[in-house]
């Protein structure tokens, strides 16, 4: 009988966000696949988890998937963790999950920590309809994607490096409009968590002279003009 792949979220900052279920699954697994065994090793030591770990990251996941599938088909239960957050969300996990589906192997994802949900809810921007973009393309297709997102009526969520934050905010202000409400959420759940709210123009100006540090989530209000036009069309059709 085949084993099961567990996708296990780990804290994005505060170790108290680790769930009891996640700890149990990691202790009971035959193997833990970790994005960085050194980073995950700190977490495992803190919770006294002694399960063997192997590296599984974006640079080797294409090569390691087949071997992992063999072990799962052999009856082992394997847990996948990334450095922080939920595997598969802008982190390794999708390729292995897809391979399991192809081979009929069960995949179970535990609920748990991720950065974009707290950022969205705490931003004060509409969270009933949203699009999670993750990291924007660095070069090819970036301008096109920004233009598409600027027209979307849903709240937009973007991950960004602190080193690229000021540049990205300037591009967002130019494409979405300087008056578009937004929030820059930094170090979610950590000691120095901050959420700075304002317009894209204000945020671009602020971070042009204030260097950000840590993990960054940008939340941008949707294009209300497009949303209102859509509603008007729907009402006209109903009539």
Query: How far is residue 220's CA from residue 200's CA, in Å, rounded to a whole number?
Result: 8
Span of 51-65, 142-156, 220-234 with lowest mean pLDDT: 220-234
Task: Output the pLDDT for position 197.
Answer: 97
Contact (CB, 8 A) for 135 and 108: no
Query: How far is residue 105's CA from residue 237's CA, in Å, rounded to a whole number?
Result: 46
| pLDDT band at residue 235 under the 50/70/90 scheme | very low
Per-residue pLDDT of 72-125, as tens digits, reads 999 999 999 999 999 999 899 999 999 999 999 999 999 999 999 999 999 999
Which strands make up the sheet holding 130-135, listed edge to edge? 130-135, 155-160, 216-220, 181-186, 194-199
The percent of residues in the chain predicted with pLDDT above 90, rounded, is 85
Does residue 9 have a pLDDT over 80?
yes
| pLDDT band at residue 1 under the 50/70/90 scheme | confident
Does residue 209 have a pLDDT over 50?
yes
Contact (CB, 8 A) for 123 and 183: yes
The percent of residues in the chain predicted with pLDDT above 70, rounded, is 94
Mean pLDDT calculated for residue range 12-19: 93
Two tokens at 139?
A: 């070069």
- The CATH code of the domain at 4-109 is 3.40.1010.10
Selected residue with higher pLDDT from 233 and 1: 1
Reported pTM = 0.87
- The domain made up of 116-227 has a fold known as 3.30.950
Domain ranges of the chain: 4-109, 116-227
Does residue 234 have a pLDDT over 90?
no
């Amino acid at each position: 009988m085949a084993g099961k792949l567990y996708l296990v979220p780990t804290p994005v900052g505060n170790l108290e966000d680790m769930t009891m279920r996640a700890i149990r699954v990691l202790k009971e697994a035959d193997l833990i696949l970790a994005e960085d065994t050194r980073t995950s090793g700190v977490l495992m030591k803190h919770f006294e988890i002694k399960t063997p770990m192997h590296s599984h990251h974006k640079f080797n996941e294409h090569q390691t998937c087949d071997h992992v599938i063999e072990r799962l088909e052999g009856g082992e239960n394997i847990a996948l963790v990334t450095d922080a957050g939920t595997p598969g969300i802008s982190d390794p996990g999708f390729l292995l999950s897809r391979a399991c589906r192809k081979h009929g192997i069960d995949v179970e994802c535990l609920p748990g920590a991720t950065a974009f949900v707290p950022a969205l809810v705490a931003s004060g921007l509409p969270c009933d309809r949203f699009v999670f973009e993750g990291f924007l393309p660095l070069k090819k297709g970036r301008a096109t994607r920004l233009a598409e997102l600027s027209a979307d009526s849903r709240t937009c969520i973007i991950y960004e490096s602190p080193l690229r934050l000021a540049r990205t905010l300037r591009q967002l202000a130019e494409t979405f409009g300087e008056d578009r409400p937004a929030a820059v959420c930094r170090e979610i759940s950590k000691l120095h968590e901050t959420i700075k709210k304002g317009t894209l123009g204000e945020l671009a100006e602020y971070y042009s002279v204030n260097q950000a540090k840590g993990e960054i989530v940008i939340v941008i209000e949707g294009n209300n003009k497009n949303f209102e036009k859509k509603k008007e069309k729907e009402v006209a059709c109903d009539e």
